[in-house]
Structure 1
Amino acid sequence: MSSETTEATGVPEALAEPVVRVRPGWMSLLFFANIALWLGIYAPIQVLLPKQAQLLDQVDKEFVLGLVMGVGAIVALVVNPAIGLLSDRTCSRFGRRHPWTVAGALVATVGMAVLAFAPSVAVMIVGWCLVQGGLNGMLATLMAAMPDRVPVGQRAQVGGLVGIAQMLGTVVGAAVVITASDLAGLPLAYSVCGVIILVGAAFFVLRTPDARLPVEFRPRWVRREVLGNLWVSPRRFPDFAWAWSCHFMINLGNGFGTLYLLYFLQDAVHYKNPDDGLLIMMGLYGVALVVGAVLAGHFSDKSGRRKPYVLAASGVMALAALLLVVWQTWTVALVASPLLGVGFGAYMAVALAMLTQVLPAAQNRAKDLGIINIASSLPQVVAPLLTPLVLAYLGGYPGLFAASAVATLVAAVLVLRVKAVR
């Protein structure tokens, strides 16, 4: 029997349900790898891509930004489950996940270099596609670490850390790239992002275990398997489908509410320094997100319940959006930011735990999580495509925030249909 197979069950370690609680050191490394990942995604989305779009086309900056983000998100939709599927079947002596984490970080860094010196919208699209492809491959493998290593009773706690890492990546990334771009322009800012991504990935890969999948346990590759395995039947796995739909709607609402914040501060609030305003809002959002994630993760794991926390989080996020429907002022933005943060933090902590509990099969964890990650990536296609239409024809920013509130409330309805999780 393979040394990678547990003697008691005959199931390889890579496929066994984890029962030993992960230690703080492992959680810290996953935490910092996720900070690097989300910094690489959101620092460009929040700051660098809007600035670059404005430099390349002042008149049609919204269209350019939506085009670049939309095409990049399409790449993310394909890469995330595909890399997950490949990692599920990888029998490398270095493990199943780590080789793909390293590859993703390298591709993303190349993409940052392309963006740093992009002379046109077309080259900008190529660079962002490389970044999205690399980071979504990395996301597929880092997300798989939860069901691979973390027992069910600890997943909301770890999910809370991942949610906090996403926030810190966003906030720290905004601060870092604004400072770097002020000092030496966009090339330095993109370069700093690339270095942080590589360092975060390297520390996680070099200092954490990655169970090897014995060759005899690798699922067979058969004709049409790639396309067939990128589909999970809603009829056979309804809980997976409802949880996926809930996650999609939450992220769509979040996309409507956050992707155009820099332009919102500039064009609707008329804040004198939109960059500084964005940092203040993200700082408030971040502190509140930490509070929401820690509290919801602790009490959810303690009670074993997930859905009540998702419902409460959805309500708080919708309230934050509705405040901005009524009042587009700096004061109200300061109130809405922490509300959105505490709601999204609570949601991320509990949702990641819930989503890992509805995965169909252990041998396809990364692939199935890749499909779930589409629920995060697809709104990056939908929201940029719909946002200019909403702004032009449905009442401007009040209409945009109303759409955010509606999407979030729909998510609350959908989570009620998940039966296997309390």
Structure 2
Amino acid sequence: MTNPITQDAAEGVHADGPESLSPRKLLFLWIALTFSSLFIAAALTTPTIITLQMKLMEVDPISAVAIVGTLVAVGMLTAALISPLAGKLSDRTRSRFGMRRPWVVAGVLIGLVGTAGVAFSTDVAWIFVFWGLASLGYGMASTLPLAILTEQTPERHRGVMGFGMSAAYGIAAALGAAIIPLFPESTMWPFLLPAIAAAVLVPLLMLITPDNRLTGAKSPLRITELLGAYWVNPMGRPGFTSLMIVMFLNGAGFVIFSIYLYFILMFHNGVSEADAPAVMTGIAGIGGIVSIVAGAVTAVISDRLGHRRLFLVVSSIVLAGGMLMQAFIEGVPMILFTGALQYGAYGVIGVFAFAILAEVSGTETAGRDAGMYNTVTMMSAVLGPIAASLLIASDPTNMMPVIYLSVGVTILGAIWMLFTKHIK
């Protein structure tokens, strides 16, 4: 019996093979993917980590703690639903601008519209609507650079290329947080500036990004193919499935902790509401530096050894340890140290997640696979905060359940990857 959920039939792809790219073209590719990821991530993570919390405190300070997890979850769910579909459709796109570029550009423009709506909203309901729209756009935009990494990067350079994209996400958090002290009396510009930068600069970067073009006869688009965007046979693709499980667990742990870190600092570590934004900025800045250094070193070593799994296991354990330390520390210096440890470890996780994704993706489903990766990581960001919000529903100022939940799921991810046999 034929499975009713099918994949696209093979189609011709016109492009130079990744092994034939010159060093100059590889450098341009690294620049384009790294900085595109940086601006997209800044537009998405700055609100997720801190400015949405600040906006809610401005609009509805009484309910801000209770609803922030749900708001972030709604945005992540929207992005999770669109990512595989955008990736699947990009696998079939026959634009003269390429398969992936049009989707990236459309995504950052939609994201700008949604982000502007949040910035100017004075009602919680409209904040939910516009943040959903922004998340849809950035979900599209962040999916396709991963597909380009898979298609355009030689295997021996995937660690370094993954480092560039992972470092971009770490720097994005610091970049977005650094904007906040510049506008102490406003939440509007901390929202708008990253989104404007993404809408202007990402399309320019796409001009120097190599992209495949489909040729040959166009097969009709069937509903079963669209449904296939959301399905992977775990038995047929064990390596891809294991990566999805591990990143779901790691993503849940880090996102839960990141979303509630603003409140952990105030309610658990004794940081005042006035000082919390500056401490968050310090954590993101130092963490970004640690992430870059650790990611660069491990990426080069991994490319030379040709192994990724052990690096992912160790960095997951370090991430869990950093989050657990948060429960037992006092003083800003130790807070900065543990925060940097967490950001640095998660940055290294990203390096190897991107490199492994490129190695386990299908040759003709790179867009869909990248979309599925985004969906899994974003669903972790949906379910994780919901679980955390339920744990603290009776006492929103008690952050210990949040910390323990973050640590627990991250350790599960490390254990799963440790015993995975389908990823080297």
Once the 2 structures are TM-superposed, how far is the Cα of residue 11 of structure 1 from its aligned partner?
Answer: 5.7
Mapping 1:236-385, distance limit 5 Å: 236-272=236-272, 273-327=275-329, 329-359=331-361, 361-385=362-386
SS in 1 for 2:138: helix
| 390 and 100 in structure 1: CA distance in 2 versus 1, 3 angstrom threshold | same
Give the letter for the 1:263 counterpart. Answer: F
| 124 and 30 in structure 1: CA distance in 2 versus 1, 3 angstrom threshold | same
Once the 2 structures are TM-superposed, how far is the Cα of residue 325 of structure 1 from its aligned partner?
Answer: 2.7
Once the 2 structures are TM-superposed, how far is the Cα of residue 88 of structure 1 from its aligned partner?
Answer: 0.6
Query: Following the alignment from structure 1 to structure 2, what is the Cα–Cα distance between the partners of residues 373 and 322?
Result: 26
Once the 2 structures are TM-superposed, how far is the Cα of residue 248 of structure 1 from its aligned partner?
Answer: 0.7
| 14 and 294 in structure 1: CA distance in 2 versus 1, 3 angstrom threshold | same
| 223 and 388 in structure 1: CA distance in 2 versus 1, 3 angstrom threshold | closer
Once the 2 structures are TM-superposed, how far is the Cα of residue 19 of structure 1 from its aligned partner?
Answer: 5.0
> Which residue is 1:174 aligned to?
177
| 252 and 219 in structure 1: CA distance in 2 versus 1, 3 angstrom threshold | farther
Question: Is the contact made by 2:94 and 2:215 (CA closer than 8 Å) also made in structure 1?
Answer: yes
**1:190-216 deviation per Cα after TM superposition (whole angstroms, max 9, x unaligned):** 221221111231222222232211143
Question: Is the contact made by 2:252 and 2:406 (CA closer than 8 Å) also made in structure 1?
Answer: yes
Mapping 1:3-18, distance limit 5 Å: 12-14=13-15, 18=19
Give the letter for the 2:259 counterpart. Answer: L
> Which residue is 1:34 aligned to?
37
**1:112-140 deviation per Cα after TM superposition (whole angstroms, max 9, x unaligned):** 11112112111101111111000110011
Q: Does 1:76 align with 2:79?
A: yes
Give the letter for the 2:400 counterpart. Answer: P
| 414 and 381 in structure 1: CA distance in 2 versus 1, 3 angstrom threshold | same
The count of corresponding residues between Structure 1 and Structure 2 is 409
Question: Is the contact made by 1:115 and 1:123 (CA closer than 8 Å) also made in structure 2?
Answer: yes
> Which residue is 1:5 aligned to?
none
Give the letter for the 2:375 counterpart. Answer: I
Query: Following the alignment from structure 1 to structure 2, what is the Cα–Cα distance between the partners of residues 384 and 275?
Result: 21
**1:33-66 deviation per Cα after TM superposition (whole angstroms, max 9, x unaligned):** 1110110111111222101111222111122212
Question: Is the contact made by 1:140 and 1:370 (CA closer than 8 Å) also made in structure 2?
Answer: yes
Q: Does 1:58 align with 2:64?
A: no
TM-score (norm 2): 0.91
Q: Does 1:144 align with 2:180?
A: no
Query: Following the alignment from structure 1 to structure 2, what is the Cα–Cα distance between the partners of residues 327 and 191?
Result: 35
| 223 and 70 in structure 1: CA distance in 2 versus 1, 3 angstrom threshold | closer
Query: Following the alignment from structure 1 to structure 2, what is the Cα–Cα distance between the partners of residues 298 and 191?
Result: 36
> Which residue is 1:100 aligned to?
103
Once the 2 structures are TM-superposed, how far is the Cα of residue 90 of structure 1 from its aligned partner?
Answer: 0.2
**1:69-99 deviation per Cα after TM superposition (whole angstroms, max 9, x unaligned):** 1111110111111110111100011111111
Question: Is the contact made by 1:47 and 1:178 (CA closer than 8 Å) also made in structure 2?
Answer: no
SS in 2 for 1:213: strand
Q: Over the residues paired in the alignment, what is the CA RMSD in angstroms? A: 2.1
Identical counterparts, % of pairs: 24
SS in 1 for 2:364: helix
Question: Is the contact made by 1:42 and 1:170 (CA closer than 8 Å) also made in structure 2?
Answer: yes
Once the 2 structures are TM-superposed, how far is the Cα of residue 154 of structure 1 from its aligned partner?
Answer: 0.6
Query: Following the alignment from structure 1 to structure 2, what is the Cα–Cα distance between the partners of residues 336 and 60?
Result: 29
| 58 and 229 in structure 1: CA distance in 2 versus 1, 3 angstrom threshold | closer
| 64 and 349 in structure 1: CA distance in 2 versus 1, 3 angstrom threshold | same
Which runs of 5 or more residues in structure 1 are unaligned?
Answer: 1-9
Once the 2 structures are TM-superposed, how far is the Cα of residue 265 of structure 1 from its aligned partner?
Answer: 1.7
SS in 2 for 1:230: coil
Question: Is the contact made by 2:152 and 2:210 (CA closer than 8 Å) also made in structure 1?
Answer: no
Once the 2 structures are TM-superposed, how far is the Cα of residue 305 of structure 1 from its aligned partner?
Answer: 0.5
> Which residue is 2:392 aligned to?
391
Question: Is the contact made by 2:14 and 2:215 (CA closer than 8 Å) also made in structure 1?
Answer: no
Q: Does 1:190 align with 2:185?
A: no
Give the letter for the 1:124 counterpart. Answer: I
Query: Following the alignment from structure 2 to structure 1, what is the Cα–Cα distance between the partners of residues 336 and 54?
Result: 23
> Which residue is 2:6 aligned to?
none
Question: Is the contact made by 1:143 and 1:369 (CA closer than 8 Å) also made in structure 2?
Answer: yes
